Amino acid sequence: MAKRTIRSIPQERTPVREQPPSERATNFLEVNEGYDETEARREASRCLDCAEPVCMDGCPVSIDIPGFIRRLSDGDLRGAYDTIARTNLLPAVCGRVCPQETQCEGICTVADTLEPVAIGRLERYIGDLAIENDWARRPYISPTPYRVGIVGSGPAGMACAADLAKAGCQVTVFEALHLPGGVLRYGIPDFRLPNTVIDAEIANLEKLGVTFQCNTVVGRLFSIEQMLEELGFDAVFIGTGAGYPSMLGIPGDSLGGVLSANELLTRANLMQARDFPSHDTPIPLGRHVAVVGAGNTAMDAMRVCLRLGAEDVHCIYRRSRAEAPARAEEVHHAEEEGVEFHWLTNPVEILEDGEGNVRAMRCVQMELGEPDESGRRRPVPVPDSEFEFPCDQVVFAIGTNANPIIGQTSKLALDPWGYLDTDDDLATSMAGVFAGGDIVTGAATVIEAMGAGRRAAAGITRFLGIRDPRLAYDAAEGPKEPVFGIAAHEHNYVRVRLAPGAAGPEQRTAVPVG
Ligand code: FAD
């Protein structure tokens, strides 16, 4: 095939079908309908397959992006999936929620001249196909006697569980809530990430032998120390996230009608308040809603309020649009659906209606000063710019903190902010206990949490004396012959595929397990 050049590829990004804004603002169905095969292959044909693919540097788990796109473009859809799955457990999730514009797509070479290749949409297309066709690989697993307990079933816990199960450990995931998935389940609404996708990924983990035990708050029912000393676990991974909401601490923030975005989203998503009357979870909903913050959580909260029937929904953010931390697509979708944005605006007091409920916020106008430690320009108040902003509900989406239960009920070392202290291998201060994801880094992203889960799994297998599970023999690149057994000297999880008539180790290729 002739080498593609920036002039020879389709100049326009392949558009993706979306529900019209006026329609979708009234339902919880997925906004973005995804590509079909023709669209996906057209978009894949925009990739230049660069000799030095910088896009991979933008991916926290270094997916072989040109490799999977090349296979997709050639019509080898299963091969495209196998390529992604080597480093990413959840392509259908990441294709939907990763902030691609600041990661792979942000540094795509095509973006120097045209719109970048829609890498996220292609990843989602392949991830959805894999779910539809049950492509997730279940490698030969040679059991070990080791039992590992995982605390928290978010992306960090899921990724760690997958690698440990593949390495032959008996893995039990303990989850405080009644359903697994972490923020993917209770935070991100269905119109961005349908529950069917999460269910399918959990089912894949169960097929690997992972057991989920929900309704189990570790630190209340038993402690981390008890897991090791009494419950027979050889190692523990803690991926409890950072779900403890922050409030602004301004006068009036305990009035009726003030709540955190996490509470609102958990009630709407996990507790299905959105499905009233078939579910009767109460959800306090105002007619004129002000959401403070401009991250993904704020966008989700605002769009949920619109769908639940609020008359008007406002985003109040103290910096400008350029500094808003939400994915660009979410801001765009929120705008299309009718959310009103008030940039450079900061609430200083919530005002009461005389009956203990919110009637308005007192806000101050801001302007941008010098950059702060995060590199973003610091917002400073404009003198004499206070004004009243009428609203009957205030939702805070200004960040979260570490859930304190594990820190309070174990002897694990914490950093000054209450997050778990770990070394480079994600080992905590207690032998055999590892941690990763938001509970170590503070609120971050799905793909970073998954990367941490995998890194911790590698640390745990080293701790237990099992070989690095990321190395296995596989014939993904070779002939599609049946897989034969295990070479004894290769220990447990190592898979060996022998091409007919070729028995020597030189016929084998070592690749990371997906
Ligand atoms: P979590 O996903 O928080 O999972 C932790 C799990 O541990 C939870 O299920 C919790 O119930 C459980 N748990 C806590 N304590 C205990 C205990 N004591 N015992 C048992 N279980 C316990 N990132 C993106 O990349 N893109 C997005 O679009 C995006 N949108 C987001 C939207 C919202 C509303 C939120 C809140 C976050 C969003 N994020 C997004 C961030 C991303 O979801 C998180 O960074 C990621 O989920 C962190 O994964 P985790 O596994 O560390 O923790």
* Series of mean pLDDT values for 10-residue runs along the chain (514 residues): 87 96 94 97 96 92 95 97 92 95 94 96 98 89 95 97 96 98 97 96 94 98 97 98 92 96 96 89 92 97 96 97 92 96 98 97 96 86 97 96 94 96 96 97 94 96 77 38 29 31 36 34
Helix (H, G, I), strand (E, B) or coil at 384: coil
> Residue type for 275, please?
D
Q: The tokens 């230049």 sit on which residue? A: 48
As a whole number of angstroms, the distance between CA 155 and CA 89 comes to 9
Q: Given CA atoms 487, 489, 494, 497 in this order, what sign does their dihedral have?
A: negative
Q: For a pocket test of ligand 1, which of 240, 329, 403, 454 has the largest count of ligand atoms closer than 8 A to its C-beta?
A: 240
Identify the CA nearest to 168 among candidates 145, 138, 152. 145
472-473 and 510-511 strand pairing: antiparallel
**Span from the CA of 83 to the centroid of ligand 1 (angstroms):** 26
Which tokens go with 488? 């004894």
Q: Answer yes or no: are the C-beta atoms of 224 and 238 closer than 8 Å.
A: yes
Identify the CA nearest to 397 among candidates 357, 338, 339, 451. 339
As a whole number of angstroms, the distance between CA 180 and CA 400 comes to 20
Element (H, E) at 462: helix 446-464
CB neighbour list of residue 208: distance below 8 Å, 6 or more residues apart: 138, 141, 161, 162, 165, 166
Ligand 1 atom nearest the C-alpha of 439 is 52
As a whole number of angstroms, the distance between CA 108 and CA 15 comes to 18
As a whole number of angstroms, the distance between CA 384 and CA 348 comes to 13
Ligand 1 atom nearest the C-alpha of 193 is 28
With 0.85 as the threshold, say if the pTM is over it: yes
What are the residue ranges of helices labelled H in 250-402? 261-265, 296-308, 328-337
CB of residue 397 inside a 6 A radius of ligand 1 = no
Q: Answer yes or no: are the C-beta atoms of 101 and 129 closer than 8 Å.
A: no
**Span from the CA of 350 to the centroid of ligand 1 (angstroms):** 29
As a whole number of angstroms, the distance between CA 139 and CA 287 comes to 53
Nearest residue by C-alpha to atom 3 in ligand 1? 241
CB of residue 177 inside a 6 A radius of ligand 1 = yes
CB of residue 103 inside a 6 A radius of ligand 1 = no
CB of residue 265 inside a 6 A radius of ligand 1 = yes
Nearest residue by C-alpha to atom 30 in ligand 1? 296
Burial string for 235-267 (b: 16+ CB within 10 Å, else e) reads bbbbbbbbbebbebebebbebebbbbbbebbbb
CB of residue 173 inside a 6 A radius of ligand 1 = no
As a whole number of angstroms, the distance between CA 44 and CA 54 comes to 16
What are the residue ranges of helices labelled H in 296-445? 296-308, 328-337, 405-409, 438-441
**Span from the CA of 183 to the centroid of ligand 1 (angstroms):** 4
CB of residue 438 inside a 6 A radius of ligand 1 = yes
Q: Answer yes or no: are the C-beta atoms of 245 and 261 closer than 8 Å.
A: yes
Which tokens go with 265? 């989203």
Q: Answer yes or no: are the C-beta atoms of 108 and 116 closer than 8 Å.
A: yes
Nearest residue by C-alpha to atom 12 in ligand 1? 152
Ligand 1 atom nearest the C-alpha of 400 is 36
**Span from the CA of 278 to the centroid of ligand 1 (angstroms):** 27
CB of residue 95 inside a 6 A radius of ligand 1 = no
Q: For a pocket test of ligand 1, which of 185, 269, 446 has the largest count of ligand atoms closer than 8 A to its C-beta?
A: 446
> What local confidence, expressed as pLDDT, does residue 108 receive?
96
> What local confidence, expressed as pLDDT, does residue 468 receive?
53
CB of residue 299 inside a 6 A radius of ligand 1 = no
CB of residue 266 inside a 6 A radius of ligand 1 = no
**Span from the CA of 208 to the centroid of ligand 1 (angstroms):** 22
CB of residue 60 inside a 6 A radius of ligand 1 = no
Burial string for 289-328 (b: 16+ CB within 10 Å, else e) reads bbbbbbbbbbbbbbbbbbbbebebbbbbbbbbeebbbbbe
Identify the CA nearest to 294 among candidates 191, 398, 417, 198. 398
Report helix angle 65-73 to 77-85, nearest 10. 170
**Span from the CA of 187 to the centroid of ligand 1 (angstroms):** 8
As a whole number of angstroms, the distance between CA 381 and CA 297 comes to 25
As a whole number of angstroms, the distance between CA 98 and CA 499 comes to 38
Q: The tokens 């095969």 sit on which residue? A: 37
As a whole number of angstroms, the distance between CA 203 and CA 198 comes to 9
Q: Answer yes or no: are the C-beta atoms of 238 and 410 closer than 8 Å.
A: no
- Provide φ and ψ at 424, rounded to 5°: -65, -25
CB of residue 97 inside a 6 A radius of ligand 1 = yes
Q: Answer yes or no: are the C-beta atoms of 323 and 344 closer than 8 Å.
A: no
As a whole number of angstroms, the distance between CA 388 and CA 461 comes to 57
Ligand 1 atom nearest the C-alpha of 96 is 28
Q: Answer yes or no: are the C-beta atoms of 61 and 447 closer than 8 Å.
A: yes
CB neighbour list of residue 19: distance below 8 Å, 6 or more residues apart: 27, 29, 30, 31, 33
* CA dist 355 → 165, 276, 396 (Å): 55, 27, 21
As a whole number of angstroms, the distance between CA 435 and CA 426 comes to 6
**Span from the CA of 29 to the centroid of ligand 1 (angstroms):** 22
Q: How many CB atoms lie within 10 A of CB 463?
A: 19
**Span from the CA of 1 to the centroid of ligand 1 (angstroms):** 44
CB of residue 152 inside a 6 A radius of ligand 1 = yes
**Span from the CA of 154 to the centroid of ligand 1 (angstroms):** 5
Nearest residue by C-alpha to atom 25 in ligand 1? 445
Ligand 1 atom nearest the C-alpha of 443 is 45
**Span from the CA of 241 to the centroid of ligand 1 (angstroms):** 5
CB of residue 449 inside a 6 A radius of ligand 1 = yes
As a whole number of angstroms, the distance between CA 308 and CA 325 comes to 24
Q: For a pocket test of ligand 1, which of 183, 223, 233 has the largest count of ligand atoms closer than 8 A to its C-beta?
A: 183
